[in-house]
Structure formats: C-alpha cells, structure tokens
Structure 1
Amino acid sequence: MSDDGAAAEVERVQNAMRALRDARGFVLPHRGLLAAALPELHAAYATMYRELTLEQGRMDPLQRECVWLAILAACDEPVGTHHVALFREHGGTDALAGAVFRQTGWAMGAEAHGFLPRGWAPLFPGLDPVRAYLDGAAALNDPAVLPDSTARLLRLAVQAARDKRWALRAELLGAYEGGLDEHLMAEAISLIIWPRGVNPFVRAADTWLEVLRGGGVSPSPVFAAWAEASGQGPLELVPGAAAPHRG
C-alpha cells in the first residue's frame, strides 16, 4: 500500500471512531477493531446493531428496555449499561427493575419444573409442570408495576437467550393462551442475537415452529404461513453423497 493509501486508511479509521464517539459518547473496542480491519463488516454490523438495539419496533421503549435488562441479567452480561440508562430515561424505576429481576430469576429456575416430565412424571400424575411454572410466574408479579405482557415478553427472551427449550415452549404456549401479539414475541426473542449470537436464536425459532406445528395454538395467518412452509431445518448430509450446490 502506498503512503497515500495508508494515510487514507488511517484517516478513515479516525473518522469512524470520531463519528461513533460523537453519536454515542463512548466506543466499545470491538467497533475500533472492525473499523480498522474489516470495514465492510463494520458497516453491516452498524446497520444490524441499529435495528436490534436502537430503532423503535413494536414494543414501546420502556417495555423494550425491560426485556433488555432481563436478557443481560440472565446472561450474566454486564456489558450493556447503556440499556440501564435507557431504562431510566424512559421512566424505569427501582420498583419496576425489581419486578423485572424477580421475573428473570423465576424464568432462570424453570428447569426445576422441566425436570418433572423428564424424570418424575409418573410420581406426580396430577401436576402439570407447564401450568405450575406459568402460574408461579403470574403469582410473583404485580401487574400494576410490571404489565403482564412485558413480563411474558421478558421471560420469553430469557428462555431463548439461555437456550432452554422446554421453558421456551412453556412460555410460547402461555403467550398464545394469553393472547400476546406474535410480532412483539418475535421482536423480544430477536434481541438475544446481539448478546448471545444467532445459533440460540435459530434454536428458539425451531422451538416456536414445533409449537405452531403441534396444533395446540392458533397462530395468525402470517405465522401459520411460516409454519406451513416446507423445507425448514438443518442441512441433512448423507455419507458418501455429493454436497448440495450452493450457487
């Protein structure tokens, strides 16, 4: 690279870092790494970050930040304190935060109920573990502080982020029973892509698909169309067979 080209690259990185600082007031170091070494990925990253964390979707701002607090706490993830600032900015109180963390803690303990059908179902024939888990969550919450819809959304996101498929299935069944908007459900679960990555989101979507195809819920036409589409699932490799063309 010529001296002029190197100077232009240095200026590009400096401008990118300056723009980030001016826009947000801080710059996490991975943004600088992407800007310096992978500028095309940096641009794509910025677009996805904006859509997932900044742009207003169907959730109202405070509801969205409640879900974010739950995800970060459930993942033991201290990075993301700007979501605490946004929670406060949109009216979040200590009482509301306490309700969020209480629901998060209950969601994190869901596997105590998930153990029953796996290990002791014959010993507790009169106990429905899904109903027990959902009823417990409701009993722990004061809807005057934390609306039921927000509590359900944050628990959905927690189960997706923690990759707990039994508990996520229970929450999905409860969400449909409670008439929760599917688009809000999808938006809440999609937030896990940022702190947890795409693969847990893939498995969450697969669990949702199983629920839709199980016939116990009544999806909207759009989500029914998703469930009815064929060919969804991982690539199946047959030993000795040629790999499929991906052109």
Structure 2
Amino acid sequence: MVELKTDAELAVMRSAGRVVGAALAAVRKEAAIGVSLLELNEVAVGVLADNGAGSSFRGYRPHFAPTPFPGVICASVNDVIVHGIPSAYRLRDGDLVSIDFGASVGGFHGDAAISFTVGTPRPADLTLIADTQAALDAGIAAAVVGGRLGDVSAAVGRIGRAAGYGIPPNFGGHGVGRAMHEDPSVPNEGVPGRGLKLRPGLVIAIEPMFIAGGRDPFVTDPDGWSLRTSDASRAAHIEHTIAVTESGPVILTAP
C-alpha cells in the first residue's frame, strides 16, 4: 500500500533527512587513509546521539538477511555494491567507498547514500561516481506530479546502460515513511509512461547502483549482507529520499 504524506509529515521527514545529510557529511569528512570502517560507524553514531535520532539500519533484518544488521551505516568498499557491514578494515589509498545511512525522527525515516574516493583517485572511479550522480539527478528530475514511476526508473537506467555499467537486478529504490522500506519499489530500470502515477505526498528513495565492469549479476558474501560484483570491478551507490510535490521534487536528505 502506497501512503501519501501530509505537509506536516513531510516537515518531520525533512528533520530526519537533515540528520541523514549531516551524518553522511561527517563520515565523508573523517574518511581518510588508515581510518577504519568501524571508526566511521562511530562518527555516524555520534551524529544520531547529538540529534536525538534513531538508527534506521541497526537491528534491521529484511527477509534475505541471516542476522540483524549490526551497524548504523552500510560501508561498501571497492567491489562491494551495497550493504557492507562496518568492520576493522582500514581505508587505503585509492579506495572507492559508498556509505549508506538512515535515521528516524518523530516516527519517520530518511535514507541516503554517497560514494567517494579516498586518497589518490582512479580516473575511472571518478567517472563512475559522476555517472551515478547524474543518474540520480535524472531520476529526481523525472519525479514530477502526473508522471509515472517508470519515468523515474527509465531515467536512471538510461544513463547507466549508455555508459556500459551493470545494474544489480532486484535492488533499487523504495518508498520511505514510517518504515524505512515502504511501497512502492523504485527499480533502477523501467519503461517511461508505465507504473504508478506520481502524486503529491509520495516519498521515495531513488538509489542508482552501477557496476563498472558491465555485468549485472552479483554475489553475496558469507555475512549474508554484503553484495559484491561478480567480476571484481568497482561499484558506486548514491541515493536521496525525495518528496513529490506540486512545486516539483524536493530532496529531503540534503545536508
């Protein structure tokens, strides 16, 4: 069931989104060669505490997961696409890092992700990140009243496929609200003019995930969470929670 949010509920979601934006900015600022993923997780824990917010991730257990998620961030490095568990791994020169984070305030959630490089970047990684950002921007631009969900998905997928990237099947964006994952599903590929009609108050997370090697299939690590590229190529993941409004799409998780 798709739930449309009121203006008052959107205001609360914007509060949650500000916490998400602040946490991602803080994590990115602290991410440097030699810093561990567990240390970055603690940075995000501190932002939650400072804002009296709850974690959308810690303790979360979807149907595919063997155990509840242990961190407040997903920390995915290099060939890990999404859902990386924070560990003692220390960042190295040239790593490509994707951080996903969710926070709850007043009973509503916000969810966003960033990808960036540490130290000396590989040019191909910078291109991958830029293309993933461009796909997110295109998806957001398509999220207008009267459009269709397929317009959003098609805008994301068009950029990924044109660049020759792989797109992990069955993983993409989703509705956001009182739960972190709500209806509708927002695939990273679709057919323009098809799917749910976009109405004011719809809140969705749009999150392109692109695989540099061009292959769609992925493998799941023994931890049951981390999704890794099947060809060991690198991946990027960038996400915002947005609201569809009469005035156009509004990014709720902007810093």
Q: TM-score, normalization: structure 1? A: 0.30
Greater share of helix: 1
Higher strand share: 2
Larger RCO (CA under 8 A, 6+ residues apart): 2
Give the structure-2-normalised TM-score. Answer: 0.29
